Structure 1
Amino acid sequence: MLTLPPHTSHRLQPLDKTVYGPLKTYYNRAMDGWMRSHPGRTVSIYEVPELVKQAFLSAMSPTNITSGFRATGIYPFNRDIFPEEDYAPSMVTDRANPEDEPSAIADLPGEEPSTSAAAHLPGPSHVHVTAGPDPGEPPATLPNPEHSSSDESGCSAHLGYVSPEVIHPLPKSTERKNRIVRKKVKTRIVTDTPEKMELEKAHKEKEDKKA
């Protein structure tokens, strides 16, 4: 017994590889042939089973079925049936989460802390950086990531991370209007004698009012 992992059926499902494609092709051919033989008519649900039968017998052949297991590497077993580039989309999940990165940079012993490291050290709400090309200029002020503000969704704005909700907020629902209270009715069989007589009586009263 073989279990197909999630998001792999387009590669490991034998029917998807070699059966459903020909089935669609043969069905379209059968549909075109029927429309040429019956000009001006519309295909109904009564003709569809016959058209599907023709396509089914052509597509569900032993050759197509067995080739599906061979094309997916199931039987005969072939672990190298897929090239390395087929696994490229999964590489996106190997990237680290920005919020999980360390918020402080450790300097080597005996060295002065760098400006980038000083900007990540805990302290007041702002860190004053005095290093610069011109000592006469006022010190630049950088926000401290440890005390950075957070948006309403709780996502911190430090380390360059921007929540999608900040760029495109979720729409707010409008006030709900008063719902219409419908009259409760019960299921009934209108062909029963009591129900039929009641309907006829109501219809007769309606006609008398019009008259």
Structure 2
Amino acid sequence: MGLREEKKAEQRRAILDAAVALFRRRGYGRTRVQDIIARLRISEATFFNYFPAKDALLDAFAEEQLDETAVNLAMLLNQKDLPVPDRIRGLMRLWALGLSADRKFSEIMTARSQLLSAPQGILREKVLRNYQLFERLFAEGQRRGEIRRDAQPRQLAEMLEGIFTITAGNWLVGWWKDESEALEPRLMHAVEVFLDGCKPHKPAGPSRRKT
């Protein structure tokens, strides 16, 4: 990367970091583009050179989250010494703790970004890439005899993603008004139920004759 590209990357990073800090402090709706450029002392034109609208900031952050997930999944695929179900547990726990540590901003991402609704363009491409990595992980579990083989890896990936999205999303927005449980134990219980259903079927033992 040349010096010019480095400076552009640094400016883009500074805009994104400033925006996220303001979103956390004021909320997304109360933060204007003018607030972001005032914090950085840059022109409006400079901001729009990097991001076409305020919503694009959330999409950019979502892309970073997807890239981080891809790195984590690639690492899990290389951890051959661990059973696949244990690798999945570790990733889900990591996600739950990450959301819990930054609940306010995570709620903004859930409500405002395309990530959980209808991702388009590069965001969609990265979501599909991560699905493919999850598919590879489940396929490995099937080859190792750790995951049932009568379900497609893609469908298993969809089911796990659905469990995470609904459980985490409901927790973030306070969907259940009487819910006081932390996200991590709640999500991990759901993951355990899912993984229990993913266990290979045991062959039926010989039937005993009645005497």
| Larger relative helix fraction | 2
TM over 0.5: no
TM-score between both structures, scaled by the size of structure 2: 0.19
Q: Which has the higher contact order (CA 8 A, sep 6+)?
A: 2
Please say which structure displays the higher CA radius of gyration.
1
